[in-house]
Amino acid sequence: MNIAVKHLGKLSTLAVMISLTGCGSDIATNTDIEAVDTTSPVSDWKMVWNDEFDGTSINMSKWSHEVDCSGGGNQEEQCYTDSAENSYVSDGTLKIVALPAEDAAKPYTSARLRTLNQGDWTYGRFEVRAKLPQGQGTWPAFWMLPTDEVYGGWPHSGEIDILEAVNLKVANDDGTLQSSIYGTLHYGKSWPDNVSSGKEYVFPQDQNPADDFHTYAIEWQEGEIRWYVDGYLYQTQRRSEVRYNSKGEASGLKHQGWFAEYYSQQTGELENHWTNAPYDQDFHLLLNLAVGGSWPANVNDTGIDETAFENGGQVFEIDYVRVYECALDPNTGRGCETLRKGYDSEEDALVLGKAPKPAAPTPPGPAQNLTIFADANNPDWPIWDCCGGSTPTVETDGDYGAVAEFIIGSSPTVMGFNTNQSDEPKPYDASSFVATGKVEFDMKVVTPPNDASAVWKFKIEQGGTSTAVELDLTDSIEGVAPVTGEWQHYSFSLQDLADKGLDVSGIDVLMIFPAWGSGEGAVYRVDNVTIGSPENTAGASVELVLFEDTSNLQWPIWDCCGGSTPTEETDDADHNTVAEFIIGASPTVMGFLAEDNLYFDASSIQTEGVVQFEMKVTSAPNDAAAVWKFKVESGDTTTAVELDLTDSNEGLAPATGVWQTYTFPLQMLADQGLDTSAIDVIMIFPAWGTGEGAVYRVDNAKIYNPNAVSAPAGLDLFKDMSAANWSIWDCCGGSTPAEQTDDAPYGTVAEFAIGASPTVMGFLADDNVYFDAEALAATGSVKFDMKVVTAPNDAAAVWKFKIESGDTTTAVELDLTDSNEGLAPATGVWQTYTFPLQKLADEGLDLTAIDVVMIFPAWGTGEGAVYRVDNASISAQ
């Protein structure tokens, strides 16, 4: 029964619903009643309180009347009285009577009785045998409220509706007569954010609760409440169960049930609690008959049928009310459960609650996506055959390049990627982005299983099978079955996997396979295997560099209308190459203009992002009163904002001969009307018509988020040309490695030729130049492409990779076959080699001062070798 406005959110739907819903109950059950002997005693339940209504008056030592005309918080149309006309005992039953009123504040009178401070209990079985009233506008209830409101006012301390019904025997839209009762819980946040969960029970067509007496009960124990009609269990509700990850952090809900919101003693703030609360305190019983109100008046025939209350009114007739205690464990109410098969199934009696999920654990730093396989295997996640005895391999597949290939023989097996098979297992914690993250991969079936009915599976595990989820590939977001010979993309939501029971804080195995025992003959390939979220960029953020020592070719420096050509000039050591603008006699504006149909979307950083640049006035405008302006446009002048430079964060007017920084927050520009999703012009200029004679320079112009954690920068040792301060190099052979042109897509490459003198070759930093790769250690690698043009004269020569740091203070030398790809060079073929930085560090390399990278046949075995290298880099994976 409602004690505050609980149905307003439902009224728009209630008016058009075909079947009745009530008091938050939105699940209907049409169940054939099982044969139950309701006269037999309930096992292990001990009666501790009852009223059989066998006397001649209401027992006021057990009950008290509530007298008010408040409408129950639901716009009800009755006044509750203590008059004998509205409630009395006769012929062994209690009658609660709703009558038309003559001189009352409401058009009807009725009664509401309660056991507050006369009968209060935590846990037990609460049962009523009653015959319900009928007619449009009737609303009888047998329910419970908290005695002390330990967790706060309604609904924070909860409400238990054991029985409610409205408009019994009134026609439904389908022509049947209304015959439903409802059981509901109310809890959560203050109105209007309160929630409820419950279920409707529909009587069989030959029965109606207004025609005869029926028993209605709940069994309430610690963490669970069950509802019964004539002994038949039709509904179960439970407390929420929180899922914890391997770090002991709340990461989701195993079961979504009820919850409580109340003030924390530690923080003094309102917080959600997923415990037994609020249903772990004393509650008392209520019996009442309401007339009208927000629920009954808005369903069936709507309103109140006055004729239904003529000739003695409507009667809610109660034979008895009984309260039982579980003799086996009164403190918890456990051990006396009256159960049936299906009571704990969501497909049957178990009702999900409305508890919110706990907030995702806060990561210790920026979240990083995990690449398990993309053109190369992540050595921390080896490709793996569980039980078939095969060795999955890396193969080449057209545009996909290097891919993982799995072949299933006669032995049943599962295959995939398993970090536990690496030398140092590294389970992956995805808990910080479970709401937005996915597991994704591309797969191509080369040869289908011999069993044409084989179902392809995806399985993911955590903690050595502590938690696991197995799904069909058709359960993916894409919902497609594999097609032989075609690459297909599959993705699985981390939230869905977590909801199904996976602890995403320690993922250690990922499998893709035909169902166990059905895979013989299958050959399939997998690539681009990742776990991550589009929100994860290792802390990086969208950024547009307009000018920083050189022009952005897609955003050229620009003179709108003056006919000049802005140029690149050399300034002081701190600024080096800068953009220079000169304004002549023709009025103009100047700055940076995007190419046609090119727009920069800064909306994702609008809250914290800025447009920032440095400017130096070399010669001031002839007009000493000229005001310097900043203007930004979006969407081909659809929106634009123009401001004075003094409106910048710095608030400075330009000073001749001095470099000054200007910062304009994107949010400020958006508040002025700029659409930040399609920026295409940035202008810096003296106000129109006042700029003649001005010469000014701009550098370090960009749009970015200054608070973002920048992704660590990598180093391209050679990509069509050598890196600045690094050269292609022959240590000891006297040759001069050269740049040569190779086939597309390689273009310019580095070529090394070894003569008679033993040597090593590669890339050498200039004196006192070192590359610090420590920030890239977790995911970074040294990677390069190599093609042997002519093999060494010594056919047994072993190809090597060596890297040094700190002027040979530390160094690591490995065979090329120790790379992620594990391949030996093949003459005439470009091949990729990847060496993880973490692996190199584990071998003893100091990552903070890398100064030599070498690729060569083992010392003294290389004579005659000619080989080429391209796309050599030290970078994030």
- The secondary structure element, H or E, covering residue 838 is helix 837-842
What 3-state DSSP class applies to 310?
A: coil
Is-contact 169 143, C-beta < 8 A? no
The separation between CA 51 and the C-alpha centre of its own chain, rounded to angstroms, equals 52
User: Residue 377 gets which letter from DSSP?
Assistant: B
Catalytic residue among 159, 200, 219, 461: 159
DSSP state letter for 564: -
Burial of 531: CB neighbours in 10 Å, binned 0-12, 13-18, 19+: buried
**Residue that has been written with the tokens 């304009």 in this structure:** 664
The phi, psi pair for 840, rounded to 5°, reads -65, -40
> 434 with 252: CB under 8 angstroms?
yes
Cα(161)–Cα(196) distance, integer angstroms: 10
Segment holding 626, helix H or strand E: none
**Unique residue bearing structure tokens 């895979």:** 519
How many Å apart are CA 745 and CA 519, to the nearest integer?
38
Residue tagged 């005693």 (tokens): 41
Give the separation between CA 275 and CA 259, rounded to whole angstroms: 7
**Residue 34 is among the residues annotated as catalytic for this protein:** no
Beta bridge partners of 180: 202
Q: Tell me whether the omega of the peptide bond preceding residue 448 falls within 30 degrees of 0, making it cis.
A: no
Determine the Cα angle at 124 with ends 161 and 150, to 5°.
Answer: 65
Nearest to 304 by CA among 315, 293, 320: 293
Both structure tokens of 234: 């039709």
Amino acid at residue number 828:
G
Q: Determine if the peptide bond prior to 155 is cis (ω within 30°).
A: yes
Q: Cite the DSSP H helix spans in 254-362.
A: none
Distance CA 634, CA 688 (A): 20
Q: Tell me if residue 751 is catalytic.
A: no
Supply 418's token pair.
């398993």
Specify whether the CB–CB gap between 839 and 777 falls below 8 A: no
Asked whether 581 and 696 are in contact (CB, 8 A), the reply is yes
DSSP-derived 3-state class of residue 646? helix
Determine which one of 76, 77, 127, 164 is catalytic. Answer: 164
Residue 610 pairs in a beta bridge with: 665, 704
Q: Which amino acid is at 247?
A: K
Task: Answer yes or no: are the C-beta atoms of 57 and 89 closer than 8 Å.
Answer: yes
Residues in the chain: 877
CA atoms within 13 A on the CB side of 760: 17
Compute and round to an integer the Cα radius of gyration of the chain: 38
Instruction: Return d(Cα 328, Cα 334) in angstroms, integer.
Output: 7
- The bridge status of strand 194-202 relative to strand 28-29 is parallel
At 862, list the tokens.
């290389």
Tokens of 760: 């090593």
Question: Which residues partner with 598 through β-bridges?
Answer: none
- Judge contact between 752 and 850, C-beta under 8 A: no
Contact 332/402 with Cβ under 8 angstroms? no
Contacts of 311 (CB under 8 A, 6+ apart): none
* Residue 220: closest CA among 280, 271, 166: 280
How many whole angstroms separate alpha carbon 298 and alpha carbon 421? 64
Q: Catalytic residue positions?
A: 159, 164
